[in-house]
Amino acid sequence: MSATRHALITGAGSGIGRAIALELARRGHVVSLAGRRAGPLEDVAGEIAASGGRSVVIDGFDVTDAAAIAAGCARAITASGDVAVLVNCAGEAPSAPFERTDAALWGRVIGINLTGTFLVTQALLPSIRKAGKGRIVNVASTAGLTGYAYVSAYCASKHGVVGLTRALALELARTDVTVNAVCPGFTDTPLLDGAVDTIVGKTGRTADEARASLARANPQGRLVTPQEVADAVLWLASEGAGAITGQAIAVAGGEVMAG
């Protein structure tokens, strides 16, 4: 498999998406950095350029807007050819008790995390097929494998992503396209900072105490790093992972053991 294949990553401006983009670029992929805001994407593009890699900024890429997705995908393909590797990483994880989770919050989380994954994948699948030996990797969560209190919309959306991954993997099993999910546990990203702020606000604990409480969910007693998730995605995107499809791989220090 050529090291110069085209990878498109949604939510590439920060956190796990940023780490994945940097790692794929470091390994020789030309990377389309997709996201809503240009600033963070341009920062990542600068990091890639500084290390000798190639990337294209695809801003205005709203995963809830089919027209924006179509336009962004067209820009990416025009710039760098058919997309061989798609990483769906855009996501949101607000917390609220179930009884205070209103329809607007529910719809927003499902729309970004689940429907967004569906829309982007459907838009790019013809290109992925044309590229050959295509790889689709969905960034789900351990919340897609188990339950957590106070994030019912997030859990539902990520369970949906895992289900979509498995269904599409079976549909494409006789092609050369694989479809997998990575399921990080609590990961040291800006998204986690929001959870920390919520804990601090509701419990009066310090930020360090809040982070430590989240780390205790991991049997290794620590937070996962974005690089560890990126490394798992890199493997799933590789030629050596051609027999791996329909899997939801926990990157969580043993928190969830799927069998």
Give the single-character DSSP code of 187. B
Tokens coding 186: 């609590």
Per the document, the length of the chain is 259
Work out the average pLDDT over 120-135.
98
H/E stretch holding 127: helix 116-131
Cα 84 from Cα 238, distance rounded (Å): 11
Count Cα neighbours of 84 within 13 Å in the Cβ-side half-sphere.
22
User: What pLDDT score does 205 carry?
Assistant: 77
Residue 2 has pLDDT above 70, yes or no: no
For the chain, give the mean pLDDT.
93
Per DSSP bridges, beta strands 135-139 and 85-88 are parallel
Residue 259 has pLDDT above 70, yes or no: no
Residue 245 has pLDDT above 90, yes or no: yes
Tell me the CA distances in angstroms from 120 to 60, 112, 116, 190, 206, one per residue in order. Answer: 14, 11, 6, 23, 39
- Residue 120 backbone dihedrals phi, psi, to 5 degrees: -65, -45
Tens-digit pLDDT profile for residues 133-181: 999 999 999 999 999 999 999 999 999 999 999 999 999 999 999 999 9
pTM (global) more than 0.85: yes
Residue type for position 130: K
User: What pLDDT score does 200 carry?
Assistant: 65
Work out the average pLDDT over 113-119.
98
Collect all residues with Cβ–Cβ distance below 8 Å to 120 and sequence separation of at least 6.
10, 63, 69, 73, 86, 88
Catalytic site residue from 11, 112, 154, 159:
154
Cβ–Cβ under 8 Å, residues 175 and 132: no
For the chain, give the percent of residues with pLDDT over 90: 80
Tens-digit pLDDT profile for residues 22-76: 999 999 999 999 999 999 999 999 999 999 999 999 999 999 999 999 999 999 9
Tens-digit pLDDT profile for residues 63-77: 999 999 999 999 999
Exposed, middle or buried: residue 78 (CB in 10 Å: 0-12, 13-18, 19+)?
Answer: exposed
* Active site annotation includes 154: yes
Domains along the sequence of the chain with CATH? 6-185+225-245 (3.40.50.720), 186-223 (no CATH)
